[in-house]
Each structure stands twice: as structure tokens, then as C-alpha cells.
Amino acid sequence: MNKVLTKILLCAATGGVLAGCFSGNDAPEIAQGTAMFDSFYYEGMDSYYKENPLPDEQSFYTPILPGWYSDPSICTNGKGDYFLVTSTFTYFPGVPIFHSRDLVNWKQVGHVLSRPSQLVNMENQHVSGGIFAPAISYNPHNETYYMITTNVGAGNFYVKTKDPFGEWSDPIRVPQVGGIDPSFFFDEDGKAYVVNNDDAPDFKAEYDGHRTIRVQEFDWKNDKMVGPRKILVNKGVHPEEKPIWIEGPHMYKINGKYYLMDAEGGTSENHSEVIFRSDSPWGPFVPWDKNPILTQRHLDPNRPNPITCAGHADILQTPEGDWWGVFLACRPIDNKFENLGRETFLMPVQWSEDGFPYFTQGDEEIPMIGRREGVVRGEEVTFGNFTVSEEFNDSVLGMQWMTLRGPATNLYSLTQTPGYLTLKCAEKSAKERGVPALVCRRMQHHNFTTSTRMYFDPANSNEKAGLMLFKDETHQYFMAVSQSEEGRIISLIKVNGDEERVISTNKLPQDAVCFDLLVYSEGTSYEFAYSLDKGNNWTSLAVGVSANHLSTAEAGGFTGTTIALHATSR
């Protein structure tokens, strides 16, 4: 018997969570043209965490946010509160915000961009468009939090709040700031600045990836940019080597000196983080002679548990005086591909004898286990292996659920039939740039099991509903129930570019309306299975399905893969 079914039967025999994740409700009344999801379950089973248990209660695994949580930015109010945000591109709501009191135990407390008025011009953008590299900052002069970011379809803007646990303002546009990746710096003297990635001087790039870092003063009392813009870095640390994609800048003032930290080398295997120093926020900024301060690009690709693509960092000092930083990196399987996307890592920051901060030097590897003295790891953490069980009993979706390009509240409901997530078979599908009837969560482990119970009675051959692994519009696996000319069927559909290919199809009883759908991942391959009797007996639909199809290595883009509940009439 295959691994999925063996595991399911083992869990059922031992009273495991897979058997217990379903509510066991009687079949609901199924409205025409809708699919009803009774439950969702996810269990991470990565071998690294099993084979390397944490040595003590002050230790933690990193990434602290596994799965697609890219471009992290962090700030503190100096009173013991830390806030962290990451990119969301065209997903809604935008920019999850996490809170911690100790940098180890994190909890999502909301989204910065929670309203459609904050996310405009999304509908025609590719999944990897939308919101790039949010940067969160705290201004002690007015005790206000700021988040500034790029909307690829609408330019740069920021929002602000005095209560990061609550709502943020509508967007305040900054058309004077071009390019991408803006961030605020609030100086001790009350002045403020925006630094960002922008075009080459006079828009005359000498090579592909030639960019600059620029600065402009920001009048926070009147919410506007003022004065001239100035180039701080042209090309990168070693201009003679034609470095690419200097971006993701952050400015800090430390011990009377100004530090400018940037990503360099692009976000793939050559990614790195570099540092410059100056006596003024206007420069000149001199690069450290031991740059980069973070990279893994030169290490042996055959090393165990490789971490790659490290860069795009942000740092801060704790009230205790130590320094820590967050950054993005990837965990490819055998250094070949991964489907998790760029994840958020946490590491202590060290200081050189000549006064520069750094994460790694030489052949130092990014560790997957960290430790912070004096901090006790809580029972509920965001890292390592964990399980998620969802019964859809609330009137609103949990914070980790997302839709595409808009709220989609006209396409799903948690109140139409309480206890179920109801999805309409929408005219838009996940293959199109629009707002489909799709509700999803991030894939967060290489090895995992995920399942859902669905009630669905398709009326015609156009209606499909089921469980999807979604990378973007052109890279998907969809395990869908539908109606064919020969009767009711369940199929595994592979979307590859404009092509849609059925990998496997099984006939179902025409009166079947209750379906348990399950995916088991071994990291490099997936197995898809289903049950018609609420998990007592399972049938494998497809085995050994290539996971590479959903990887960034094959599909490109800036996101990771999500696990989606989807219904469509297309």
C-alpha cells in the first residue's frame, strides 16, 4: 500500500489527528453552483525537525516563519515590542504583521493592508506583482508606526498607525519616490528620510541590473517628501564588477555613524547583503572592505541541509543591548529546488573590530537552530513541525487564509451555512488574472499532509471544485470533482502555461456528494488521494507527481506555493 494510505490508516488506528480532524457533521444542504468545505487539516513532517530536536527551552528553529514569508522587515518601539512584516504581492489581505516580546515567540496579529482601499489596481497583475518589500518603522517623535512599500501597479506609498494591532491608514502616495523597496529612517534630531532602489543615473543603465540607492528627506509632520533626491550608491559595493540589483535598503544611526544596508546580487543563488557607513545620511557612504555581511552563494552546493539565496535583511538592537536581524533565504531540496518560497530567518548580529555589523563571514553557514539567552520558547510557535486544524466555525477567516487580488467576499461565505466554508463556482478560475473563488494558506514544509472534506454536487461539466496546489496562474495541480458526459468524476489536473492536462481520472458514484481530499508531499513528489466514506477507506488518484513543476526553479516568480480550496465554472 502506498505511503499516503499507510499513514492515514496508521493515524486512524491510533486515534491520530488525521482521523480526528473532520467534524463528522451530517451532509448539509448543498446549494446549486457551490462547494462546501467542512474542514481543513495540515501537518508538517520535515525530517530535519524530527532528527534534530531543540536542545533546551531557550532554543528555536529558523526560519522562524517557514514557507513563503519573503522580504522581512522588523522594528521595535523601544518598550519591548517587536513587529515584523513580509511581502504578499497580489494576495489579499496584504502584508501580515507579527508581534513578539522576545524575538523568538511570534504571533500574527493582523494585516497592515486589510481593506480594498489600501490595495488598488490588483486585478490585472500577475501573482508576483502587487506589494513588494514592505518596510516597517517606528517614529519615536510622534509615537507612530509607518509601513512603506511598492505596489507594482500603483507606485510607492505608505500607511501609518499608532496602534499596530488595529487598523492602518489609507495609502499616502509618494510619487516623488520612484523605483521599488522604499524604507523610512527616523533620525535622532527629528528629521526623517526615505531610501529606495531606483534606476541608473539619467535612466542610462550600463548593463542589466544596474540600479542605484537614493535618499530624500521626509517631512513626517506634514506627510510629504521635501528637498532634492540624491544617489547614495551607484551599482553596488564594487562598481567595477558590475554588481546587479542593489536594493532593499535600510538606514540606521549607530554610535554616531550612519549605516546603509542593502541587498545585492539578485534574489536567487547570488543573493547577498552588504553594508556602507557614513558620517551623514547624505553620504558619502563607504562600503566595508569585508562585504558581504551575509551570503551563502560561495558554499559547497552539496552540503547537508543547504540554505541559499540569503539576503534582504533588517536589523535592530534590543533593550538588553544585543543585536539581531531578520532576512530571507531558501531551503532547496538537495540544493535543486523548493516549493516553499523565500522564508524569514532570524540570527544574531555580530560586530567587527572596525565597527561594522555582520551575520556571516567566510564559510560560516546559516544555522537552522538558534538560541537566545533568557528567552523561554512558548508552547505555540511559528517554526518547526506543527499541525493546523480548521473547522470553519468562525464568521471570518483566520489570519493565515488569503484570497487573490481582492477580498472575494462575494465568492465565499462562512455564514451562509455556519460551520462550512462555502465557495461559489465562479466564472473566474485560478488560471486567470482576476479574483477567483480561491481561499488558500502557505505551504510551509517539504514533507506534509494536507486534507479537506468537501460537499459538492456539480450540475454540469463546467463546475469543478476541490483541493489545489497553486504556484501561479500557469503552474498548478488541481484535484477536482466534476461532472462529465459519462458521469461524476474526480481528476488531477496539471496546469502548465496555457496547457491543461488531466494526469489521472477516476469515475465516482453519481450520487456521491461528500469527498475527503488529501495530498501527501515527500518534498520532491506528491501523492493525491480521496475518500468517499469520511476517511474510512481511501483511494489513490495519482502517485509520484513531480513537485518541481511548482518550484521557483521552474515557474519563476517571487512567491511560494499555496494550498488552496477552489471552485470554478470555467
Q: Which three cell numbers stand for residue 72?
A: 522581512
Backbone angles phi, psi at 332, to 5 degrees: -70, 150
Active-site residue, selected from the candidate residues 188, 241, 320, 353: 241
Stretch (H or E) spanning 20: helix 17-20
Question: Which among 141, 97, 92, 182 has a CA at the least distance from the CA of 397?
Answer: 92
Q: How far is CA 565 from the centre of its chain?
A: 18
- Catalytic residue list contains 394: no
Q: How far is CA 368 from the centre of its chain?
A: 18
Question: Which among 33, 120, 43 has a CA at the least distance from the CA of 413?
Answer: 33
Amino acid at 377: R
DSSP string, 286-303: EE-TT--SB--TTS-TTS
The position carrying cell 486544524 is 389
Q: Which three cell numbers stand for residue 448?
A: 506534509
Active-site residue, selected from the candidate residues 46, 71, 338, 343: 71
DSSP string, 118-182: GS-S-TTS-TT-SEEEEEEEEETTTTEEEEEEEETTTEEEEEEES-TTS--PPPEE-TTS-SEEE
Burial annotation 48-87 (CB, 10 A radius, 16+ → b, else e): bbeeeebeeeeebbbbbbbbbbbbbbbbbeeeeebbbbbb
- Catalytic residue list contains 457: no
Question: Which among 111, 113, 109, 87 has a CA at the least distance from the CA of 99?
Answer: 109
Q: How far is the C-alpha of 139 from the C-alpha of 141, rounded, in Å?
A: 5
Question: Which among 454, 446, 528 has a CA at the least distance from the CA of 3?
Answer: 528
CA distances from 501 to 208, 436, 565 (A): 36, 20, 20
- Alpha carbons within 13 angstroms on the beta-carbon side of residue 17 total 15
Catalytic residue numbers?
Answer: 71, 241
